[in-house]
Amino acid sequence: MQLRDRILARLREPDYQPANELALSRQLGLNKKQRATLNFEVRRLLASGQLARVQGDRLGLPRATAEHAGRLMFRQGGSAYIIPDVPSGTPPVDPIQIAPDDTDVAFHGDRVAYTILKGVKTRRPGETAGRVLRVISRDRATIVGNLGRSGRDWLVAADDPRFVHDVLVEDPAKSDVQPRPAAGDKVVVRLNEWKRRRDVITGTIVDRLGRTHEPRAELLGVFVKYDLDPDFPADVLREADALPATVNPRELVGRLDYREVPTFTIDPDDAKDFDDALSVETLDNGETRIGIHIADVSHYVQPGTALDREAQRRGNSTYLVGTVIPMLPEKLSNGLCSLVEGQIRLTKAVFLTFAKNGRLVKTAFANTAIRSRKRLTYKQAYALLFENDLERVRALPVPPKHQTGSTGRTLRSLKPAELADLQTWVRQLWSIASKLRTNRMAGGALDLDMPETKIFVDEQGYADRLERVEHDESHQLIEEFMLAANEAVARVTRVHHLPSLYRVHDEPDPEKLNEYRDTLATFDLHVGDLTKRDELTKLLVRLRDHPQGYTLRTQLLRSLRKAAYRATADGHFGLNKRDYTHFTSPIRRYADLVVHRVFDYYLIKFAGHPQPAGYRFGYDQAAMQRIGEHLSLTETNSQEAERESVKIKLLEFFERQLERKEPTRLTAIITDVRSRGFFVELEESMTFGFVSAENLPNDTYVLNAAGTALVGRRRKQKFELGARLDVVVKKVDRFRRQIDFAPAG
């Protein structure tokens, strides 16, 4: 037993009377050398609030402290933070910081009881420290990890680096799992009860997923870890199968008929579910009416059905590298609800009418029926915007047939007049969207869009290719109209006091922005008060061309609060909008499906639409708040699963680079310099890695006085913060999730 534990154990004994350090050391039988250690441990226990001074200078246990509850979230190094519970409808509060020794027997994600520690220093000034008192409920009963052997013991190292303990398991030869696991297998372990922190954590192997680092095993590991199920329950599939394959003509009654109005979709190359389409009309007075048509999922997914319950449980679709875990069965997500080219589909629409000068003059809402003229990719839309040679546009690659629809035609098959019309409509949309974007940015919206790295896999599921996806004008065109539709729906539900869900982004913590400001100074970026919106917008403009722009924009995002779903229209800081909701993606987000039901309630109650027989609006404010809290959690879970999937595949991709005879040269930017080497970010894939000083060429390198460069002692070659260099992959550690690079050539 460690001295720290012996001290606490003695103070908890019934016969203990408060004593000073000297008397306590005698009671514990310590020698003179151990007394210095006792004094050190006593100071630590006093600072953490686990001991208190009583009766003058004597030591005792502190009086009962106030208990709070929250969810514990670990970091990779063993420290953690608690997200405190707050009353329903109350904005979140700042996390409580927890030192590694103060986490008790809690795991990542557990709901815990904790107490506040006063006077304890944390990593950043102004943060509050706490200590876990006990676990209220476990977040999960299993972990996924790699099975290995240490001497006679069999241990499982968790995939999640935030689970810092190895788990002792019995000899796999005695396991009931078939085939029996062996060293190097990825397994699922059911954790046994862990009561005392000093005890070894034990568990039982309950499943073998395959060989660690094989694509299928890694994918199954993500499924288990994040409780994702690619399969739907039988009752859900029965309800989906009972739905028709096409729209029945009777369903068009009472809807605006937009089947002959120019309407089309713009989506990524590999998209299969199409939520939104845009229509464009030039009115007699010269005004332009834009229709934002959104798949009417609520027409098919009724409240209280098995389809609805499962969609709410999932909360959203989860997009992993190479696959998707959909919120709705394929018959709906890729079929009946998807706005497939050439097929009649039911939609909900927001109509925005713009004057010749681009000013919004009218907003209207309706249920519609459309037939998409064309399924465009972002690349095709971009070419239509900026390429005048239509034959070059016609020659662009097209998506596979199953992603265009059974009656879809490629751009190659369009007549010249049809292609010219399509270009006119796309450019007409952008002429308005570009003004919306300019006005939005001028109004203080934060331009937080960043390029992304898309990972493509081969037939065996291995990461095969990386592609940088820029947020160009074709993406911005769609974004602006989706933002406008979301804002319009949020405003009308708020103004009419309808229970609804809103997408809320609270104002940032000033202290975190000040810390971020200090970080910027280390990169020689000196800015004003970032709590002022105009300073933030000016900074984002500067970061566009800064060598560490991507990294610093990412750090800014971490300094802002996380957006969430709430039953109150509390505003969106990033967009600088009072009213905002999610309305435009009901195939993949349950929040949008709920808002569609509110949309129908508005049309019935305030827009004169007939009320269907047996119709009942089943939501109130309390129900909306409960749904919002649940969907905020499912969204976070999906985001973490998606990040995990990307990390796994990036490591896999770069590990395969090591097998090449001629290593690929990769352009990198130095983002941080240390005495033992420097960190880099790859320009193309935005992947981070480390270059060790040991791998630098033909010299001994030392850190300069400013801490911004490694300089060779003899040749004076310099590797400086912000500099570009070509690198090759040197080493990939899949378990630690680290990539080492070396200068190329």
pLDDT tens per residue, range 255-291: 999 999 999 999 998 888 999 999 999 999 999 999 9
* Average pLDDT in the chain: 91
Average pLDDT over residues 515-528: 88
Average pLDDT over residues 136-151: 94
Average pLDDT over residues 228-233: 97
Average pLDDT over residues 344-361: 96
Average pLDDT over residues 90-114: 88
Q: Is the pLDDT of residue 403 over 70?
A: no
At residue 698, the pLDDT reads 86
Q: Is the pLDDT of residue 48 over 70?
A: no
Q: Is the pLDDT of residue 674 over 70?
A: yes
Average pLDDT over residues 539-553: 86
Distance (Å) of CA 215 to CA 92, 524, 641, 733 = 38, 43, 15, 16
State how far the Cα of 284 lies from the Cα of 296, in Å rounded to an integer: 29
- For residue 600, give the nearest of 230, 322, 390, 302 by alpha carbon: 302
Helical residues (DSSP H) of 279-415, grouped into ranges? 306-314, 330, 378-386, 390-394
At residue 52, the pLDDT reads 81
At residue 65, the pLDDT reads 63
Average pLDDT over residues 107-130: 84
Average pLDDT over residues 349-372: 97
State how far the Cα of 321 lies from the Cα of 677, in Å rounded to an integer: 31
pLDDT tens per residue, range 574-583: 999 999 999 9
Q: Is the pLDDT of residue 409 over 60?
A: no
Q: Is the pLDDT of residue 525 over 50?
A: yes
pLDDT tens per residue, range 562-619: 999 999 999 999 999 999 999 999 999 999 999 999 999 999 999 999 998 888 899 9
At residue 89, the pLDDT reads 60
At residue 515, the pLDDT reads 86
In three-state secondary structure terms, 435 is helix
For residue 526, count other CB atoms closer than 10 A to its CB.
8
Beta bridge partners of 731: 740
> Are the CB atoms for 157 and 145 separated by under 8 Å?
yes
At residue 135, the pLDDT reads 94
At residue 407, the pLDDT reads 46
Q: Is the pLDDT of residue 9 over 90?
A: no
pLDDT tens per residue, range 613-664: 888 899 999 999 999 999 999 999 999 999 999 999 999 999 999 998 888 8
Counting Cα atoms < 13 Å in the Cβ hemisphere of 424 gives 10
Q: What band does 402 get if pLDDT is binned at 50, 70 and 90? A: very low
At residue 243, the pLDDT reads 97
Q: Is the pLDDT of residue 396 over 90?
A: no
At residue 405, the pLDDT reads 47
Q: Where are the beta strands (DSSP E) in 124-244?
A: 128-137, 142-150, 153-158, 166-169, 185-191, 203-211
Average pLDDT over residues 410-414: 80
263-267 and 68-74 beta bridge pairing: unpaired
Q: Is the pLDDT of residue 400 over 70?
A: no
Average pLDDT over residues 411-435: 93
State how far the Cα of 67 lies from the Cα of 102, in Å rounded to an integer: 15
Listed range (37-46, 429-438, 657-666) with the worst mean pLDDT: 37-46
Distance (Å) of CA 608 to CA 365, 366, 603, 604 = 12, 11, 6, 6
> Are the CB atoms for 709 and 715 separated by under 8 Å?
no
> pLDDT above 70 covers what percent of the chain?
96
